[in-house]
Chain A
Amino acid sequence: MRTVQVARRVNPHLSIDTYDPEAELMLLHFGPQHPSTHGVFRMDLTLDGEIVVKAVPHVGFLHRAVEKLCESLAYVQITPIVDKNDYVAPMTNEQALNMAFEKLLNLEVPRRARWMRTLFAELQRIASHLLWLGTFALDLGGALGGGSTVFIYCFRERELILDLFEEVTGARFHYNTHTIGGNRHDIPAGWSAKVHQALDVIASRLSEYEGMTLDNKIFVARTRGVGVLDADLALELGITGPILRACGVDHDLRRDAPFHAYNEVRVQVVTATGGDCLARAKVRLGEMRESIRLIREMVDNIPAGAINSGKPIKVPLQTKIPPGQTYVAIETPRGELGTYVISDGSQFPYRLKIRPPSLHALSALPYILPGATVSDAVAILGSLDPIMGEVDR
Chain B
Amino acid sequence: MTGFLHGASYGVVIVSVLMTATALSLWFERKLAARMQSRLGPTLVGPAGLLQPLADVLKLLQKEDIVPLKADAILFNLAPPVAVVCAIGVAAAVPFSPTVVAADLDVGVLYVLAIGAITVLPVFSAGWASNNKLALLGGMRAVAQSISYEVPLVLAALVPVILAGSMRIGTIVRVQSEGHWFVVWPFFLGIPAFVIFVLAMLAEANRIPFDIPEAESELVAGVTTEYTGMKFALFYMAEYVHTLVASAVAAALFLGGWDGGPFRPGLHWMVLKTLLLFAALYWMRWTLLRFRSDQLMGLCWRWLVPSSVALVAGAAVWVVFVG
Contacts and interface: CB of A to CB of B under 8 A. Distances in A.
Touching chains A and B, CB distance < 8 Å: yes
Interface of A: 26, 28, 33-36, 50, 137-149, 152-153, 156, 212, 216, 218-219, 221-222, 373-378
Contacts of A222: 289, 291-292, 295
- B39, B218, B220, B292 pick with most chain A CB within 10 angstroms: B218
27 contacts: A34-B220, A36-B217, A50-B141, A139-B218, A141-B288, A142-B208, A142-B290, A143-B217, A144-B285, A145-B208, A145-B286, A145-B290, A146-B286, A147-B289, A149-B36, A149-B287, A153-B38, A156-B38, A212-B287, A216-B289, A218-B290, A222-B295, A373-B292, A374-B218, A375-B218, A378-B217, A378-B218
A147 B217 CA distance: 10
Contacts of A219: 289
Contact of B288 (A143, A156, A218, A375): A218
B105 interface: no
A152 B137 contact: no
B211 A50 contact: no
B209 to A, nearest CB: 6
B216 A221 contact: no
Given A26-B133, A148-B37, A221-B295, A140 B285 contact: no
Contacts of B215: 142, 375
B293 A50 contact: yes
Give 5 closest A-B pairs by Cβ, nearest first: A141-B289, A152-B37, A145-B208, A36-B217, A146-B288
Nearest to B208: A145
A221 B36 contact: no
Interface residues of B, number: 30
Contacts of A216: 288-289
B223 to A, nearest CB: 14
Nearest to B136: A26
Nearest to A148: B37
B134 interface: yes
Contact of A218 (B134, B220, B291): B291
B294 interface: yes
B212 interface: yes
Contacts of A35: 216-217, 220
Interface in B195-211: 208-209, 211
A298 to B, nearest CB: 30
Given A145-B211, A149-B37, 9 more contacts: A26-B133, A139-B217, A141-B288, A149-B36, A152-B37, A218-B209, A221-B292, A373-B293, A378-B217
B138 to A, nearest CB: 10
Interface string B277-299: 00000000111111111110000
- A33, A144, A218 pick with most chain B CB within 10 angstroms: A144
Contacts of A153: 37-38
Contacts of A145: 208, 211, 285-286, 288-290
Contacts of B37: 148-149, 152-153
B291 A221 contact: yes
B212 A375 contact: yes
Nearest to A140: B289
B137 A374 contact: yes
